[in-house]
Structure 1
Amino acid sequence: MAFSCATGKHRRPGRVKQATTRTVGVAALTTTGVIGTLAAPALAADTSDGQAGLTLALSIGDSVAEQIDAQAAAQRQAAQDAAAREAREEAEAQAEKLAAERAEKEREAERERAAREAERKRLNARVAPIAGSYVSTGYKAGGSVWSSGSHTGVDFHAASGTAVQSVGAGTVVEAGWGGSYGYQIVIEMTDGTYTQYGHLSSIGVSVGQAVLPGQQIALSGATGNVTGAHLHFEVRMTAEYGSDIDPVAYLRAHGVNV
């Protein structure tokens, strides 16, 4: 036989049960953050036996809210710390990049300075006009064979066909027949002086051509006013005849051992 209840209204729950129910409701509403708007009307009808439960529910709600606030504050602080750390790391990386770029520019500038200095030294370098030769007739040697009464240059011993090289960097200003000098080449050097190469058997450069130290420009010979094959080498302060200086002293002043 089925269990049944008496007809009519069910019995009203006791006061303790009502208070407990309301307390649970308050605790639940506290976690949602709406206790201030919903709990008060529901509890207004009963302020006797349920007061202790309400106080407990409010205390629990305050504690949970404080925990939530603390957690939110910690999260905000962590986010701020992370952003500050990221900004600091980015600034440090940018500073390192700029320092590396600056160092590379300084290295590049130093390489350019070194290259310019090496080029300057190369252009200012001097070599002997004939490698491995020696002076056979000195500067200002006297005799009737020279129209001025003395030798205006020096003679380097050289068999006909020996390679003749520019003693330094400069520009060819004469290349051809030079009367008593035979076939000759005159080069204006980068320092403004002029070097002359005479009695050549062959010329390998032309007027206006730039030459470098040690560059072959001709072959020695016995053209012009000579008694045998050799190279006449002369240094002048200007292009004019009579402005000659000691060629050996000139070469030695530039580090050439002759």
Structure 2
Amino acid sequence: MFMRLFHRRPHRVPVLLCALLALAAGALVAGPAAASPDPGGRFGPGDPGVLSAGAEVAQLYEDASAAAQQYETTRRAAKEQEARARRLEGLLARERREIAALRGDLGRIARAQYRSGGGLPRTAQLLLADSPEDLIRGQQAVWQADLAVDNAVSKSRRAEARLSADERKAAAAWHSLAERNGELAQLRRDIAAKLERALWKLQGEADRSVATGKCSKPVRLKQPKTRTTRAWVAPVKSYRLSAGFDSVGQHWAHRHTGQDFAVPIGTPVRAAGAGRVVSVSCGGAFGVEVVLEHSGGYYTQYAHLAAVTVTKGQRVRAGQWVGQSGTTGNSTGPHLHFEVRLTPKWGSAVDPTRWLKERGVRLRP
């Protein structure tokens, strides 16, 4: 959900917001492309102008993440600026009080000049002076009063001009920030709409593969930039745990043999550890699935996928993407069914949560 940009009266906001305009403009120029065709061939060989559904989904997830980060950056900057605005409003109010005081000073100076004869012509001052010394002192008082008036007028004018410029710049800054957040919000909506279409396109292709029992070619995805140094990882990075091992439910002939991770369609699925792909299949209750063999005589299964990114016999490392989540086979919604077995076949499962915990991977609820 998009958080609205807070609004304040533009003429009460300080000029420091102008610094945010450069940040916003730069981010907008460097903003994510809304699912442009595979720039730089990031998703492997093939026609660079056409993405597979799985690769398109992966790219749209990246674009959505980048747009969300930019939106949040702008939102946080605006919130920080609101705090600055509250602090600086006092300074603006003080500036206004100083201007009012200067105008009062001008009035007092003018009255003092009038009382001291500052308004009299020089001839009259000569006639009324009791002595040359009185004349000189009176003339000095007039000069000082004139200088004080000039200084006060100049200071008042500078303060008024500065205040007026600050208010104009602040109003422009708020307008630009509002436009920037509106553009980012629209960008996110556009990406979300394209992602929704791409997700169901991906799932539709997966369902057709399951119906025919024939797997599609592996999706060529750009692997994560950072490789984990851990020997074992959770099969998905962000998730919510749903059905657990040995659960009882109407969707299973016996008890549940794995741990389910509730994730959106198209979420990258990771190899829990280094190993070798022993099977890739696309039919039956598990839908599209991948089974890996690991050292120590254990196997891991990744089921109900929408796409796979590996082939049989391929070696994989811990954290490498082996597929994308979906809802194929006997599935009531998008999720990953993760299973740990003693053999590559169904019927030899062990508790995957405990198995991962023994290897230093604690699953969060």
Give the alignment's TM-score, normalised by structure 1: 0.51
Deviation at 1:239, TM superposition (A): 2.0
Letter in 2 for 1:182: G
- Is 1:140 matched with 2:240? no
1 or 2, which has the higher strand percentage?
A: 1
SS of 1:197's equivalent?
Answer: strand
- Is 1:202 matched with 2:307? yes
- Is 1:256 matched with 2:361? yes
Map 1:50-89; keep pairs closer than 5 Å.
none
Provide the identity percentage. Answer: 45
- Is 1:185 matched with 2:290? yes
Match 1:218 to one of 316, 323, 327: 323
Residue in 1 that maps onto 2:212: none
SS of 1:181's equivalent?
Answer: coil
Number of corresponding residues: 136
SS of 1:161's equivalent?
Answer: coil
Match 1:125 to one of 225, 231, 234: 231
Cα distance in 2 for residues equivalent to 1:178 and 1:249: 29
Check 1:250–1:178 CA distance in 2 against 1; reply closer, same or farther (3 A cut).
farther
Cα distance in 2 for residues equivalent to 1:192 and 1:221: 28
Check 1:178–1:254 CA distance in 2 against 1; reply closer, same or farther (3 A cut).
farther
Match 1:227 to one of 314, 327, 332: 332
Give the alignment's TM-score, normalised by structure 2: 0.36
Deviations 1:130-164 (A, max 9, x none): 012232111010022112x2100010011000000
Letter in 2 for 1:145: H
Deviation at 1:248, TM superposition (A): 0.3
User: Which aligned runs of 4 or more in structure 1 are off by greater than 6 angstroms?
Assistant: none
Q: What CA RMSD, in Å, does the superposition of the two structures yield over aligned residues?
A: 1.5
> Could you say which structure has the larger radius of gyration?
1
Deviation at 1:190, TM superposition (A): 1.8
1 or 2, which has the higher helix percentage?
A: 2
Q: Is residue 238–residue 263 contact of structure 2 (8 Å, CA) maintained in 1?
A: no
Match 2:264 to one of 159, 174, 178: 159
* Unpaired segments ≥5 residues, structure 1: 1-120
Deviation at 1:192, TM superposition (A): 1.5
Letter in 2 for 1:144: Q
Letter in 2 for 1:181: F
* Unpaired segments ≥5 residues, structure 2: 1-227
Residue in 2 that maps onto 1:240: 345
Q: Is residue 139–residue 151 contact of structure 1 (8 Å, CA) maintained in 2?
A: yes
Cα distance in 1 for residues equivalent to 2:322 and 2:345: 22
Letter in 2 for 1:163: P
Letter in 2 for 1:141: S
SS of 2:357's equivalent?
Answer: helix
1 or 2 for the larger relative contact order (CA 8 Å, sep ≥6)? 2
Deviation at 1:241, TM superposition (A): 2.1
